[in-house]
Amino acid sequence: MIQVRTAVPFDAASMAKLLNEIIEIGGTTAMVRPVTRNDIAEWMATDAERSAWHVAVDSDETVIGFQWISPHPNLPPEACDIASFVQVGRAGLGIGSALFTANAEAAKALGYVWINATIRADNEGGLTYYQSRGFRDWTVDTNVELPNGMIVDKISKRYDV
């Protein structure tokens, strides 16, 4: 059974491990360098009063997914950015849906009007996930260079809360 709860600093190591496996496989995140527990903990602490972090855990409290919303310098103040990560091999089991329900409620409670998701154009799973939540395309950035030199297009989708 999947449970979603607010993420706490203790979760940062498990979240980093899950994210690093996704980064290592490549192709679904713009992140190309491994992250540490400290990286995640710092991200969680940044703009904490305007952000929400949730983890999905299984029956033994193992983190099997996480998602956050936070302000972004390229967005207006009424919008927040979202990032979602599900354990490799566990996509399509309702983890992302459960996380999004929690973060959509949090976005509304924090006073946001809409949520932005920016996805690599070659990440079919991510595009499908956000589309299925009701996000719609609002802008495309072409020829974006990632930190490793790879060039990708990014599609930004909008969800009105």
In the chain, domain spans: 3-113
**Cα(81)–Cα(104) distance, rounded to whole angstroms?**
11
- Rounded to an integer, the average pLDDT of 128-157 is 92
pLDDT over 70 at 27, yes or no: no
Q: How confident is the model at residue 32 (pLDDT cuts 50, 70, 90)?
A: confident
**Cα(123)–Cα(102) distance, rounded to whole angstroms?**
23
Q: How confident is the model at residue 38 (pLDDT cuts 50, 70, 90)?
A: very high
pLDDT > 70 in the chain, percent: 98
pLDDT digits (tens, 9 = 90+) for 85-108: 999 877 767 898 999 999 999 999
> 104: helix, coil or strand?
helix
Q: How confident is the model at residue 125 (pLDDT cuts 50, 70, 90)?
A: confident
**Taking the model in full, what pTM does it have?**
0.91
Contacts of 128 (CB under 8 A, 6+ apart): none
* Structural fold of domain 3-113: Aminopeptidase (3.40.630)
CB 144 within 8 A of CB 105: no
- CA 50 from chain centre, in angstroms, equals 15
